[in-house]
Amino acid sequence: DAKTTQPPSMDCAEGRAANLPCNHSTISGNEYVYWYRQIHSQGPQYIIHGLKNNETNEMASLIITEDRKSSTLILPHATLRDTAVYYCIVRVATNAGKSTFGDGTTLTVKP
Amino acid sequence: GAVVSQHPSWVICKSGTSVKIECRSLDFQATTMFWYRQFPKQSLMLMATSNEGSKATYEQGVEKDKFLINHASLTLSTLTVTSAHPEDSSFYICSAPAGTGSDTQYFGPGTRLTVL
C-alpha cells in the first residue's frame, strides 16, 4: 500500500470548515483514498473514500487532486465532537480492509 | 452502517494469565477480520488477518503462538493473548469489511488490556 503523509496536528474554530490534507505521491492507479477518524479510546470510524472523483457524504467531503497525489478531507462545519485523530489511508479496494495506518492528524476543534 | 462489537471493552489481568477478546460482526457476515494493536499515543498496527475456516495470517514480528486467533464462525473472531505480560498491555481493535467484497472496513470499539 502507498505511504501517506499528514501534518501531525491542526486546530480549527468551532463552526468553521476543517480542511485536512494528505499527501500520497506514490499512489497506484487502483488504490483508493480512505479517511477514518479515531476519537480518544475508541475504534476508528469510517468517514469517506474515493478513487479519483470528489466525494461527499453526510459527514464530509473528499477532494482528490487530478494527479491523485494528494487529497483533502473537508469537515464543512466542525464541532467540538469532531476533535479526533484523522487517518488518511491508501489501499486497493480488493484488499478487503487490510489497512496500514500512519500517524494521522490530530484535529482539535476549539470553541 | 455495519456494526462490529468487541468484548470485553476492558480487562485487567495478572501476568502469566491468558485473556480472550471477542470480535463480532452484528449485522453482516465476515469471512475475514483483522486484529490491530495500538499503544498509547501511537497509531494502529495490524497484527493479523483472521480467516473463517482457516488459519490466521500474521504480520511480521507478531508471535502466532502468543496471539492465538480463532475465526469459528462468519460473525465471530477471537484473539487470545497467552501468558500475558505487562508489555502486552495495549488497546486491541478488530475490524471487518462490511460484506463479501466490500471495500469499506468497520472497526470495533476496542478492548483495553492491562496486564499487572
A25-73 pLDDT tens trace: 999 998 899 999 999 889 999 999 999 989 999 999 999 999 999 999 9
- CA-nearest residue of chain B to A87? B43
Please give the pLDDT value at position B100. Answer: 58
- What average pLDDT does range A7-35 have in this prediction? 95
Positions in chain B whose pLDDT score sits under 70: 1-2, 99-103
Residue A96 has pLDDT above 80, yes or no: no
Q: What is the DSSP letter of A80?
A: G
Confidence band (pLDDT; 50, 70, 90) for A99?
A: confident
Please give the pLDDT value at position A5. Answer: 95
Instruction: Compute the nearest-CA separation of A75 from chain B (Å).
Output: 19
Please give the pLDDT value at position B43. Answer: 93
Which of B32, B91, B108 is facing A97, going by the closest CB pair? B32
Averaged pLDDT score across all residues of chain A: 92
* Residues 6+ positions from A66 with CB-CB distance below 8 Å: none
Please give the pLDDT value at position B72. Answer: 86
Q: Which range has the worst mean pLDDT, A11-25, A80-94, B12-26?
A: A80-94
Task: Please state, for a pLDDT cut of 90, what percent of chain A lies above it.
Answer: 79
Q: How far apart (Å, rounded) are the C-alpha atoms in residues A26 and A67?
A: 11
Please give the pLDDT value at position A69. Answer: 96
Do B43 and A101 make contact, defined as CB atoms within 8 angstroms?
yes
Pairwise pLDDT comparison (A95 vs B9), residue with the higher score: B9
Classified as helix, coil or strand, B2 is: coil
DSSP secondary structure letters along B27-76: SS--SEEEEEEE-TTS--EEEEEEETTS--EE-TT--TTTEEEEEEETTE
Instruction: Compute the nearest-CA separation of B96 from chain A (Å).
Output: 7
Residue A109 has pLDDT above 70, yes or no: yes
**Chain A contact for B43 (CB, 8 A cutoff):** yes
- In chain A, residues with a C-beta closer than 8 Å to the C-beta of B49 are 98
**Selected residues 64-93 of chain B with any CB under 8 Å from a CB in chain A:** 91, 93
Confidence band (pLDDT; 50, 70, 90) for A24?
A: very high
Task: Please state, for a pLDDT cut of 70, what percent of chain A lies above it.
Answer: 95
